[in-house]
Amino acid sequence: MSDVMTPEQRSRLMRRVGSKDTRPERVIRSLLHTLGYRFRLHRKDLPGTPDLVLPKYRTAIFVHGCFWHSHDCPKGARPQSNADFWGNKLDSNRRRDARVCVELQKRGWKVLTLWECQLSDTVALAALVNRELRGADDLDSR
């Protein structure tokens, strides 16, 4: 993976590692702030009320819990007991996520889903975010 962070960004990021508030959305906010991105929170006028929105990049970010949104990772494993109940519930979450994504894309938004399990590796996450948003940036400058 290429290093898409400037040395300053990397060192600021490293200083933040170990910060106390590890709630997923806080982690992302802090990360975006460190990387110098401007964002808005919970735009209720957009489908699915994205957790974060970066108007400049026309990108909506969702920070998903692995269990509730059925991530393909160990934390996203479905419970063995009450399998039908959980299956229905989690499938309906999944369908809603997919619907919201399509609705946003129809309106010209790019959707970036970040997962709870990605948050512990802040450096990898920063690289991912930069890569995703720079892609959007390239589209803008065409």
66 near Zn ion, judged by CB under 5 A: yes
Question: Could you tell me how many residues of this chain bind Zn ion (CB under 5 A)?
Answer: 6
15-23, 25-33, 64-72, 133-141 -> range binding Zn ion (CB under 5 A):
64-72
Q: Are 124 and 4 in contact (CB under 8 A)?
A: no
Between 117 and 136, name the residue whose CB sits nearer to Zn ion.
Answer: 117
- x/- mask, Zn ion, residues 67-86, rule CB under 5 A, reads ----x-x-x-----------
14 near Zn ion, judged by CB under 5 A: no
DSSP for 42-107 reads --TTSTT--SEEEGGGTEEEEEE-TTTTT-SSGGGPPPSTTHHHHHHHHHHHHHHHHHHHHHHHHT
What residues are paired with 54 via a beta bridge?
59
Q: How far is the CB of 110 from Zn ion (least distance, A)?
A: 21
Q: How far is the CB of 70 from Zn ion (least distance, A)?
A: 9
